[in-house]
Amino acid sequence: MTLSWGQIARLGQVQMALGAIVVLTTSTLNRLMVVEFALPALLPGALVGLHYGIQLSRPRWGFTCDTGGNRTRWIIGGMAILAAGGIGAAFAVTMFAQNFALAIALSIISYGLIGIGVGASGTSLLALLATATAPDRRAAAATITWLMMIFGIALTAGLAGQFLDPYSPQRLITVVAVISTLALLLTTLAIGKIESRVTPMRPEAPTPFMHGLREVWSEPKTRNFTLFVFLSMNAYFMQELILEPYAGLVFGFTPGQSTSLSGAQNGGVFIGMLTVGIMATGLKIGALRTWVMAGCLGSCAVLTLICMTGFADTALNFTYLVIALGFFNGMFAVAAIGAMMALASQGRGQREGTRMGLWGAAQAIAAGFGGLTGAVLVDVARTFAPDGPAFGAVFTFEATLFLAAALMAARVMETPQATMPATLVPGE
């Protein structure tokens, strides 16, 4: 038995619920700390970094759900932990005006719970998708789940913004508590009895975690793909903290215009993801390997054009370039996720969660490291060159990373067999 389209959509609702809670903690609460409470931006940045750092535990969560034989339990349990962390983080923000030390302590605990919840629920969900999705539906499954997560983030941000005005501590806690509770209820209802119908797993004999991790790491396909995920995601996240400052410093964008620019980029990501889902699954055009490489090479080309705008006046429309960058980023990202789902079922049986956890940890490291590296390189370059060339040099470096990722994808991924048109099988 494999997942039907309806069941895939239901699992996408779980991903949507996860994104709904996370966006409150990584955007809304950050803004409140910096603006309403006049706290240094380093504080929310460090808390978000803690949330990413704890996701290094993803391999452990994946291994646990592999050997325990019940991923549903970890999906719901992880979402409950995430909801508790979200509510706790909101309460901690309201405490900064009364007791700073207590607020800091509660924030650390809450963001730690957020990291644990995302790791447990997200990894187990991806493992279930990888195990039970038919090979020719993996691209579409990745597209559906990630588009639903983006939709959940956008919907939650919009609704929370409306209900938070006029701001008060009580209103903040109420809004976050309602959203977190609804997300947990949606997860419980959506996951239902899907796992028992498609993957009747039998728990295996207890195995030490490090032994299981070494088993997976010893597989050349898994190891090579882990390195590819780290390299490509470094390139993907490097522009995250520098694109809007570049628009403001070089093109004179106002804060409102730069915010709109970010929305335009996310629109491009949405279209890129949708394109891969339709072409790879609906029309059976191209293997996931092809779409991964196309996304990396397209991102490289657009970043090169963006770099040119920093060195000289061009007739290129910067907003259109950013939309194009989002398009190719989305194409690469959803194809890479589909590739993870395909490869997770390769190798030793009942280790899908461990592999997905390993790649999730590599992505979390790259998300933090890539964004920080981009910001540091810009700061260094601006001490030696004007803003345009300084940012342009960093975009050139990012483009080079995408080119390297495309070349690595060509080496570690094999073209799938004709009988499995949407399956990705990395090579040795």
Q: Do the beta carbons of residue 196 and residue 69 sit within 8 Å?
A: no
pLDDT, one tens digit per residue, over 290-331 is 999 999 999 999 999 999 988 877 778 888 999 999 999 999
At 108, is the pLDDT very low, low, confident or very high (cuts 50, 70, 90)? very high
Q: Which residue has the higher pLDDT, 369 or 178?
A: 178
The CA-atom distances, in angstroms, between 26 and each of 48, 157, 363, 419 are 6, 11, 17, 43
Question: Is pLDDT at 195 greater than 70 in this prediction?
Answer: yes
CATH superfamily of 206-416+424-428: MFS general substrate transporter like domains (1.20.1250.20)
Question: Is pLDDT at 423 greater than 60 in this prediction?
Answer: no
Question: Is pLDDT at 419 greater than 50 in this prediction?
Answer: no
Most distant CA pair in the chain: distance in Å?
Answer: 65
At 43, is the pLDDT very low, low, confident or very high (cuts 50, 70, 90)? confident
Q: Do domains 1-199 and 206-416+424-428 have the same CATH topology?
A: yes
Cross-strand partners of 426: 413
- What was the pLDDT predicted at 265? 83
* Phi, psi angles (nearest 5°) of residue 324: -65, -40
- Span 1-199: which CATH code? 1.20.1250.20
* CB neighbour class for 418 (10 Å; exposed up to 12, middle 13-18, buried from 19): exposed
pLDDT, one tens digit per residue, over 161-177 is 778 777 788 888 999 99
Per the document, the length of the chain is 428
Question: Is pLDDT at 418 greater than 60 in this prediction?
Answer: no
Burial 20-34 (b: 16+ CB within 10 A, else e): bbbbbbbbbbbebbb
Question: Is pLDDT at 338 greater than 90 in this prediction?
Answer: no
Q: Residue 154 is encoded by which pair of tokens? A: 């956008």
Going from N- to C-terminal start, the domains of the chain cover 1-199, 206-416+424-428
Q: Do the beta carbons of residue 228 and residue 48 sit within 8 Å?
A: no
pLDDT, one tens digit per residue, over 342-366 is 787 776 666 778 888 888 888 888 8
Considering the chain, what is the average pLDDT of its residues? 83
Q: Residue 308, Cβ neighbours under 10 Å: how many? A: 16
Q: Residue 165, Cβ neighbours under 10 Å: how many? A: 9
pLDDT, one tens digit per residue, over 122-163 is 888 988 887 888 877 877 787 788 888 878 877 777 777 778
Q: Residue 117 is encoded by which pair of tokens? A: 């919840």
Helices (DSSP H) in 312-422: which residue ranges? 318-344, 352-382, 387-412
Q: Do the beta carbons of residue 93 and residue 103 sit within 8 Å?
A: yes
